[in-house]
Structure 1
Amino acid sequence: MEDLLRECAPQVLAAVVRRYGDFDTSEDAVQEALLAASRQWPVEGVPERPRNWLITVAARRRIELLRSEAARRRREEDAARHEPSPGLVPSVDDSLTLLLLCCHPALTTASQVALTLRAVGGLTTGEIARALLVPEATVGQRISRAKQRIRDAGATFRLPPPEEREARLVAVRQVLYLIFNEGYTASSGVRLQRVELTAEAVRLTRQLRARLPDDGETAGLLALMVLTDARRPARTLVDGALVPLAEQDRSLWDGAAIAEGVALITETLARAPIGPYQIQAAIAAVHDEAARAEDTDWPQILRLYEILDVLAPGPMVTLNRLVAVAEVHGPGAALRQLDQVDGEPALRSHHRVAAVRAHLLEKSGDLPAARAAYLEAARRTLSAPEQRYLAQRAVALAP
């Protein structure tokens, strides 16, 4: 039943917002309808047409919410004109419109993530708080502020004009990728992975691609997620300890997911204008197709990172490219390049800088310096599994 409610949530919200126009009140009403369903359906049974039931209940609840406000009389007239029809069912797929509204440029990235998970993902405030490891009150405040900002910005429930659409889609893809990454490698906490977030990101990205089958970057993002998540079963031991890519048991990787991701990115690269997500997916495909770590085609990976560094330069691209440089040209060349970028503000305090430096120093044979860098990286990270792994690497290098 939880899966059914989660599937219905964005469709119900889209139908109510499209009919009445106001996102904030409609979203509150839909949440109450979902809560009512979670209480009634286990006792009374799931209705024959669950979406109709939810839309009808949400629409009625919206009227009740409007009647309780200060401007009750004026709004009651509007509510009476829009008395819900029992047969109200969305005739079109509004998931794209809803995603674009949740990623409105007036919102901060944190608010976009929370609102997307709530309105499109169907997660409760408590589920979002647990997934993001922030207090439930904080998530509630983010969602409330986001709905207020949307209202203040005068946003309406319709697709933005064509000249604005691509910029908004960039934000949508970024939010989905942020959700996936936070689930795949949690930025803090005792767990390395939060599967509920990665699964939700993949599900929403599949929905987005269904609406935009010709969009190369959306296909690239989906391929990247699928290919990356295929390695998840081998990333941790039974006790939750991190296993680096080179040491993973590749027989545990999801072969069907790898085949899907490789086919998707191969087809996309052949027909669509090239973009950063497609290049990242291609890199993931090269890793996934190597039967053993030593079979990895590092020269190809380095070429792909050089392309990515032109299309979408950034600190993580720089660090990942240097790992490939070390594999192709040796750790000395990579260390010299790392020295050149180490002082950049975006990299200065990030634990990955120290972790990459430690890896390169270890490969070059400077074990005392590598040990110190591993300890520095462990000190900087907020992730308990990463901290434990880095500290263990330092211990292993002790004289």
Structure 2
Amino acid sequence: MSPRAGKNTGTPHTLAFVESPVQLLNVLEWAHAQHPRPAREESGTGFTLVVLSPNDPMTRGQLRRMAELARDEGHTVRWEEARGGTMAPFRTIGGLMSPLRRADRIVMGDPFSRYVQLLLTITRAAELVVVDDGTATMEFVGQLARGERLVRWHRKGGRPGPRDLLFAPVSSSARRRLTPRADRRVEVFSSMPIEDIPEGVTVTSNTFAWTRDRFGPPRVTKGADMVGTSLVETGVVDADRYLEAVGALAKAHGAARYFAHRRESAEKLHRLAVETGLEVVRPDLPLELIARRGPIGRTVLSFPSTVVHTLPLALSGTDVRVAVCDIDPAWLTDHASPRAQGFLSGVTGTARDVHRLAAVSSGVGSAVGSAG
């Protein structure tokens, strides 16, 4: 059953598209930055938030929880079963034609999404806003600045497949649509370090003010927690090497819990729990909210990922230390993109307010910490 429609104060001029819980969180952060207000205060700034629902059960569950928070903020949530069968895309796009044409402003969480790129060919909105979709935002801005085709970082370097070639005209059109001009404003709302800013693009900092305003501060425990990644699932890191590294880090820092990424496979997580003894936690909300609500360990261990940028912001004012472990080049698979190591190193190297940990040597079972 689809979630019920939320309240709104009239026909919205802003239409937001999200496909993940983190994207939805960052749309709420963007809305708060536009119109900051005390928690639970009635607002006349609501807009329509369209969830292009994926099929993954974990992602759907987190999205439903986030959708309730969006309704509490006064926004209308439109839940689209965008991938529910062969005809679903046609029904979804057909139903969105009118709202797309009426919208003055489009907010999107994933400019690499083929769904979003297709929707961009329909709208004539004068204002486009890209909110964080994690580390992919860094790559998107760089590609836009260099005039390159929009390709996710872990796929870059490979030869385009038949579907890529078929979709190339739509992707090119979306890139042109996301390029500022006199009659079109483009904004990037991000907590990530943005260096190569394309001419005309406005970059606004996401400080996670909404998260800090609505949740916490958390109870901080004495131990350490670990944050999982989907680097194995995306084919970047070898599964055996990853599990060895997790076990070594957990032992070195006394970690007890492992917060799983929503894309991590059940098989890998079961093996991880058996081999490392860690308690695997499947969060029902994005980790930034889970950590802010608490309880959370005094040290949070992570591999290079979005959270090394976002958690220090969400946990600002607490005693929690975020520590990041570098990825050893030996962990990469033969299928990993040639850019993978450099990109992951950049994610770690540009993170603020984190502690750097040396990569865990395979079989050694120790990790050396160094302040960063």
Q: Which fold has the larger relative contact order, with Cα–Cα distance below 8 Å and residues 6 or more apart in sequence?
A: 2
* TM norm structure 2: 0.26
* TM norm structure 1: 0.24
Task: Judging by fraction of residues, say which structure has more strand.
Answer: 2
Instruction: Select the structure of larger CA radius of gyration.
Output: 1
Task: Judging by fraction of residues, say which structure has more helix.
Answer: 1
